[in-house]
Each structure stands twice: as C-alpha cells, then as structure tokens.
Structure 1
Amino acid sequence: MGAATASDVGTGRLDRRTVLKGVGAGSVVPLAGCLGTYDAVVGDSSGPEPVRVGVLAPNPQSDFIGRSMVQSAQVAVDERNDDHDGIDDRAVELVVGDTNGSPLEAKREYQRLVLEENVDVTVGTFASEALVNIMDEIAEQETLHLTSGAATQEVSQLVREEYERYKYHFRVGPTNDTDLGRAQIGFMNDVAGDIGWESIAVLAEDYPWADVPWETVQDRIDDTPVENVLSRRYAPSKNDFTDLYDEIADAGADAAFIMTAHTGNDALFDWSYPNRPAEPPQPQPFAFGGIHVPMQLPTYYEQTNGACRYGVSYSAATEQSEITEKTPQFVDKYEETFGTYPQDMGYYTYDAINLFAEVAESEESLDSADLVPVIEDISYTGATGNVRFYDPDDTYAHDRVYDPDDPTTVGVYFQWQENDEGVGVREVIWPDEYATSEYVTPPWLE
C-alpha cells in the first residue's frame, strides 16, 4: 500500500486515522532514504581483536524509533573509532539485533548477539516487555546491558531483590516510569500557571507503560497550583476523541494533559482538526500536551502537515536544545550523517555506548564484573545531561537518577512551533535553563 502525503492528511482528503497509523510509536514511518541492511557489522575489523557492541532495536529498517537508536549507535561507534582510536586502541564494531517489537524476538536476538556474535556489551531495547523478557538472559550471560529505551521498574526491582544475579543491568534512559511522572509534576509546578494552564484534564491511554506515570500524577497533582478538573483512562482501541473532548470543554479545562504513545495521532487530530460537521473544522477550546510519543519524532510536523503546531510534549532533548556541550555536537553529527535528527531513544543510545567506552578504557577491561562497580559510582556527562545511577539497595536500583535540583537529569518539555521560514521546530520551553523559546498560546485561545 502506498503512503499518503502530508498534504493529503492536512486537507482531510484521506482518512487521517488510516494515513497516520504509521506515525505512532512502534510502527512504520515513511521517510525519504533507507538504511542499508544491518545484517553486517559496522566498524573496522582490522588490527587487534575489536570491541563488539550489540544494539537491540525495533525494526530499524522501517521504524523511526528503532532506526534512530541504530543510527545513534553508529554515530557513537564512528566517533569512538575516528576520534579516540576505538577503546584502548581496539576498533569498535556495532552489531544490530532487530527485536521486531516482540519480547520473544528480543530474547532470540539477545542470545544471538551474545552467544554467536560475541558482543562485549548490549545497549538498547525499546518496549518494556522486551526488556523484561531478556533479564534472565542478561543474568545468565553475566554481560553488561545498558537500557536506552524502556521505562519499566520491574527490572530495577529485580536488581534490588537479587543483586548478584541481575546487577549487570543499568538504565541510561529514559528515567523510570515513576520519575517520568515526577517530571510531569515538575512541569506543572514550574510552568503551567505561567502559560495559562490553571486547570487541566488528565488523560492516559490504558496501556501498561502509562500505569505508573498516571498513578504518580494522580497522587501529586493536588499539590501543584493546577486544578485537575477531569481524569480519564481511555481504551487502547479509542480512535475518536470527540465525546471525551466535549467533556473536557464542558469542564472548562485550559489544557488536555495526555499520556499517549499508541493513540497519539488520533488524539492530536481530534484536537487540532476535530471530526466535526462544521467546515472548516474548528480546533478544540483548550491547549494540548503531555507525554506524546509521536510528537517526539523530528519529522512529525511534516508528517501531520503542521497539525501538531502548538502541541507540547516531553523528550530527552531536541535538535534545538543544549543540555550539555555534547548535545549539539551529537545532533550536528547525526544530521550531517543521516540528513535528519535523532528521536528520544537515540540520545540515550548514544550516551550508553559512550559511557561504556569511557569506563572500559579507564579500567582497561571488558569484563562486566569489573565494570559494574565503576558504573555504579559514575557521574558521566552525556548528550542527555548528567548520568548517574541509583544505588543497588535503592527502590530504583541501577536506574538513571532523576534529580529535580539538577536540570540536566529531568528531560525537556518542548512545543512544536513554526519559524519564519515556515518550518516546524521543537522549541524547548522547560526547564528555563535550556529554553529556546517561550510558550506560544494557540491563537484561537487568545
């Protein structure tokens, strides 16, 4: 089936739900250009025995998130070989495992990477279910794994409860699901009132990934200056938000604050181009934002023909941000190499490989048992900020530390805006330290 164009979407000539199924997390996003086949190893195998890095990613040939993870890993490996002579004068090779978005396939690919490809470390995994399904394999192989895509706390609980068995797992990013909820509360405390969001409706799709962020927000939102006038979990099958948005409008909410990955496209279009009989369609009488995974895609503005303009979402970083000096360096190299920008999980994957390389070189060892205690004590400055890990006996053992007093650890909120050239850009609006623009109120709400 051929892909529809963005203009088809914007004018409503085609069913937007059918057209944009592929823009959500874990699905196909049509883009110009393709990756080469990743069955082969990326790197230089001449000289001493190379250091081998395995990356687990969903459908890197066709899925933007998986592709960004692999391409970010390639940038990290190329930089390590070109600028640092590899690791301890040994070339670094990248071996890719396509998880196909499946827990079973993730397990098979993990086994292949470690047992057949003899990788020294694995990074990646996107779906929480996939990560959980390889934890016993990580323990059995005693091989370091640095997660760069899944937020579930199940794995940190395993590390805490059976440390000697599961100590080889660390989460470089994203923050775990509780800390993901804490970041939303931080945004409410610091920004919401200033941008006119004095009352909100909190929405979350009924998928497991959203359970803990939802609970965290529900437990803490009454302590913020924002009034929560409506809360709803909605069915995974929901594809028409008209009735729900009518409730939000009737409740007088200034904004719909949503947690969505799989249903984000429908939620967006029913906000900005709602399926109503009036012509032309009128946007909803409230602002829109939250954790909206499709909006993290750097191509989303073009894919939606600008329908995401004024929408707000959360990310590790954007092409506009400078969390550390490494952020724009990585973004520029990525854009120079691939002609586009990385998605959220790409930033974490890049940091995971560089963190491993730094520790392996400093210790002159690839033995995971040698590296674990060093990583436990590390404070590493990466493209996503300061990377530190919770202690082994902490509730969130070996998860990335979320510290509200350290803005480099909390991620960024951005808003899709249009620049003077008519190009959509993700402008950072929080934290203040990294803001590249002020929030722009949708003109129909002024």
Structure 2
Amino acid sequence: MADVPENEQQEENEGRLDRRSVLKYGGTGALGAGLAGCQSRENPLPGSNIRPPESEDGGVGGNVKDAEGPLEGETFKIGVLAPMELPLGESMWQAAQMAAEEMNEAGGLLGASVKVELGDTEVSPGKAQSEHRRLTSQAGCDMTVGVFLGSALLQTMTSIANQQKLHVTTAAADPRVGKLVSKSAAYQQGADPQEEYEKYKYHFRAGPIHLLDLADAMLEFIEDKKDEYGWERAALLTEDIGEFTPYADRLQERLSDVIDVPISQRPGGVSDWSPLYSDIEEADCDVALIGMALGGTTAVNQWAQQQRDFEFGGIHVFAQSFEYWESTDGNVEHVFTMNAMTPQTENTDTTQEFVQNFVDTWESVPIYTAPITYDAISTIEEVFAAMHEEEGLDGTPEPDAVIPYLEDMTFTDSTILEEVQFTPADAEYAHEPQWTSIAETGVPVFQQWQMDEEIREDYGTMHSFYPPENKTAEKTEPEWL
C-alpha cells in the first residue's frame, strides 16, 4: 500500500485516548473482524437468500414508499464490502439490505431512495481495495460500509483517500487505521499529521473496538471475575496469526499483573492439542484464555472430548455463530467468548427487535457484523436529519460536509448501546468507536454456550454471563471439572 509505510509496525497504545466526555460504544464483536482464513465449511451459516429485488440500474432496494423530504427523487447508494464466503460477510450484506428496505418503507433517506450494492471481497486485501474502487468510481456508490481483515482495510485506505467518499468499517479491528486518520499522531516519520488527517478523514469505524481495547476488555474481565470463578492461574493461548498480534502483545505484557500466567504461547497449525493441554494441567492452570480462529474447532473438540481439567474461553471467532453448536456436535458447550450481543441479550430497546426482524427475513441468526453494519447505515440517516435541521439540504451532501457531524454527534439509535460516539480527530486513534471500559459501556459481552431447555431442548444457547447489565444466565462449568 503506497500510502502506508511497509515497515510500520503494529503500535501499542501505552495510555488511554484523550476523551471529551463519558464515552459510549455501539458495537464490538471480539476479534473476529480481524482474522483471516475463517472458512465457512468449518462454521457454516446457510442463508435463505431472501432479499429485496435488484433494481435495473444495479444495487438492491430503491423502491420508496410515500417519499417525502428534501432529497425526494434522488438515490443514495451504499456499497457493502463483504467476504461472502464467510458467515460474517453474508451477515453484513443481509443487514445492509434490511436497513435499506426499512428506510425505503419509511419514506426513504429524507425522501431519497436507498440502494445497496455488494462488493464481494473474498477475504483478500487486494480484492477489497479493487471492489472499493469499483463501487465508488464505477457503480456510483455515495459511501461504503464493511471490510473484514485489518490488512484488507489498510490496503483499502489508499482507495478511500483517493475516492474521497465516506467509508464506515463494520468488521476489521486493526488500530493502525485510527493512527492514519489522527491529527495528532503522524503515522510515518516526517509526515504532517494535519495532511494525513485531510487525506484519510473519510474513514470511520462503527465497530468493533480495536484490538488494543479488546485486550483491555479481557484484562478488565479477568480482574473483575477471577476471585468469583476461582481463577488463580491462567494459560494464554493466542493463535500465531498476524491479525492477532496487537491483542496478543498487549495481553502478554499485562496479563501477569492481573493473574499468574505460567504458560503463554502463540500456537499455529496445531492438529493435536494434547501435549499443550497436558502442560496446562501440569502447570495447574484454572483456565485457558484463548484467541482462536483457524484451529479453533480442533481445539474445542479435543478440550471437550478429552475432558481437560481447566475452563476454556476468551475470543473464539467461530463460537460467535449460532451454527457452531452443530458444527462441533455440542462440544462447544461451556466454551465462552467475547461478542457484541447474543440472540438473548437486550443491550438496548431495539436489540431484540433487530434480532427478530433479521431471523424473520433471513431464517438465520445474525452474527455481530450484522448489527454493526445496520447501525452504521442508521448513523448516516441520523446525520442527514441533523444536517437538514441545522442548515437545510437541497441535495445529497458532500462527504466533507458530513464528516464534522460524524465527529461531533452522539448517536442514539444503536442496537448495541444507547449512545455512540466516534473518537475525535485529534485522538491518538481517530474516528474509532469510543470506549472506556466494560463497566461503563456494557460491551463487549461474554457469552457462553449452554444447554437451556426453556429455550431449546436439543440445541445449545448462546447465553451472556457478563457484564451484569447484559447478563442472561449464570456462567456454568463442565461437569467433569
């Protein structure tokens, strides 16, 4: 990527962001948004392919009911950059179609018809960049949402800067993008922060929180609950994947300040976890704190089948999907993972309404990228309404006019939190989801797969056991412990 120095190393934030107020965040899905190689054959999520009809000039949606407003007669087109071979990509695309259809049913975006067009990124940084360029320069999209993989987002930043159209990330979690945008943190030595900001200011991230904040959330969780759970010693197992590196480095540096960590490893390509699991038992660890994607299913199956004498969880990408119970034949029971929400949580007054509408429309359960994408599109609706109220609109506003509103507004229509703000332009990581702690924001939630006959008699349930405001069940332990 020409605009990002190739030798730039992943930064670690030694302090906290300089925040203007009590900060709220509206969407985190753990680390799933930063990982490559999460193939759907290991975690299938079949969709029903129900979707609004395609329009003649490209895109989906556009049929406005009772259009009325300052943008009546216009079309606002949103490109969706999603890896359709992965469940999280399909969930993004489905949520975007839902958002467009709901807006059109309610009279459009201040009267404008809303259309969404898919750019299938195929879990490829190069394809993500080329699809962004196609959607914005050829397909006529006014803005884009999506992008999975930190490497894909970094490479796409060149096109975002060149096209000068808004992009709202709804999957990738790499913190370096926030550094690119920041007015106060020159990304490369000798660069002018103001010039870098002007180049990259078109990027915002609706979620998830970036990797360093995710690590801090894990630290907060362990410190808060270790005594209650009887956790004195922990093994830290983070897969040796580049996308995990900032998260792994932060935990390797700081976890031992919170709990005894006799084992800390970054395994990769493991087919037999037995030797490592035996080491964990010999070290008398109470829990294995994991960050897993590629080998996650093998690790879960062997932990359960061998009835290992420690608890198991942390960030597990596949375990965030409803179909994962079937994929593991129930071996995922008692495994816990970060998530933005579960099918049971009531993060806000609109969470369950969104979940039910998604299930009714697609006959599948949304993955975390769905509510984040849905909220990102809703955010634009709130911005346009505020712009019209304050200064009037006689056409679709230019991105440079929209950016100050995105920077300054507090958004109140999220499915994850009641209030959402972006970090300011002069923050160390700019245009990011503002986040302080689990205690203040209620996210991420920690879900655990459990059997709950009141919900389903023959299938596991994704219950949240932490934090208290989003709790739907107590944490459980395997009967063999």
Aligned residues of 1:51 and 1:119 also touching (Cα < 8 A): yes
Shift of 1:259: 0.6
Give the 3 Å change call, closer, same or farther, for CA 88–128 of structure 1 in structure 2: same
Shift of 1:24: 7.1
CA distances 1:304-324 after superposition (whole Å, capped 9, x unpaired): 111100000011111111111
Residue 398 (structure 2) aligns with: 367
Residue 65 (structure 1) aligns with: 88
TM-score (norm 1): 0.88
Aligned residues of 2:81 and 2:146 also touching (Cα < 8 A): yes
1:335 maps to 2:359? yes
Matches within 5 A, 1:164-313: 164-224=198-258, 226-235=259-268, 237-273=269-305, 282-313=306-337
SS at match of 1:269: helix
Q: Aligned letter for 1:82?
A: E
Residue 322 (structure 1) aligns with: 346
Aligned residues: 410
CA distances 1:11-51 after superposition (whole Å, capped 9, x unpaired): xxxxxxxxxxxx97243444555426998521125671211
Higher helix fraction: Structure 1 or Structure 2?
Answer: 1
Residue 369 (structure 2) aligns with: 345
Aligned residues of 1:387 and 1:409 also touching (Cα < 8 A): no
Q: Distance in 1 between matches of 2:330 and 2:118?
A: 34
Q: Distance in 1 between matches of 2:226 and 2:140?
A: 49
Q: Aligned letter for 1:199?
A: R
The structure 1 residue matched to 2:464, chosen from 397, 403, 428, is 428
The structure 2 residue matched to 1:25, chosen from 27, 38, 52, is 38
Q: Distance in 2 between matches of 1:191 and 1:81?
A: 45
Aligned residues of 1:48 and 1:91 also touching (Cα < 8 A): yes
Q: Distance in 1 between matches of 2:320 and 2:274?
A: 24
The structure 1 residue matched to 2:49, chosen from 26, 30, 35, is 35
Q: Distance in 2 between matches of 1:323 and 1:406?
A: 14
Aligned residues of 1:45 and 1:91 also touching (Cα < 8 A): yes
Q: Distance in 2 between matches of 1:246 and 1:391?
A: 47
Aligned residues of 2:128 and 2:156 also touching (Cα < 8 A): yes
The structure 1 residue matched to 2:73, chosen from 33, 42, 48, is 48
Q: Distance in 2 between matches of 1:31 and 1:269?
A: 19
SS at match of 1:81: helix
Aligned Cα root-mean-square deviation (Å): 1.9
Shift of 1:344: 1.5
Residue 7 (structure 1) aligns with: none
Q: Distance in 2 between matches of 1:300 and 1:82?
A: 34
Identical pairs, percent:
36
Matches within 5 A, 1:11-22: none
Residue 12 (structure 1) aligns with: none
Shift of 1:250: 0.6
CA distances 1:109-136 after superposition (whole Å, capped 9, x unpaired): 1111101111111000011111111101
Range that drifts further, 310-319 or 396-405: 396-405
Give the 3 Å change call, closer, same or farther, for CA 110–177 of structure 1 in structure 2: same
Aligned residues of 2:207 and 2:433 also touching (Cα < 8 A): yes
Q: Aligned letter for 1:101?
A: V
Divergent runs of 4+, >3 A: 26-34, 36-40, 405-409
Aligned residues of 1:25 and 1:65 also touching (Cα < 8 A): no
CA distances 1:200-244 after superposition (whole Å, capped 9, x unpaired): 1001011112111112222222332x3222111112x22221111
Q: Distance in 1 between matches of 2:256 and 2:46?
A: 46
Aligned residues of 2:50 and 2:361 also touching (Cα < 8 A): no
Aligned residues of 1:204 and 1:260 also touching (Cα < 8 A): yes
Residue 388 (structure 1) aligns with: 421
Q: What stretches of structure 1 of length at least 5 have no aligned partner?
A: 1-22, 274-281
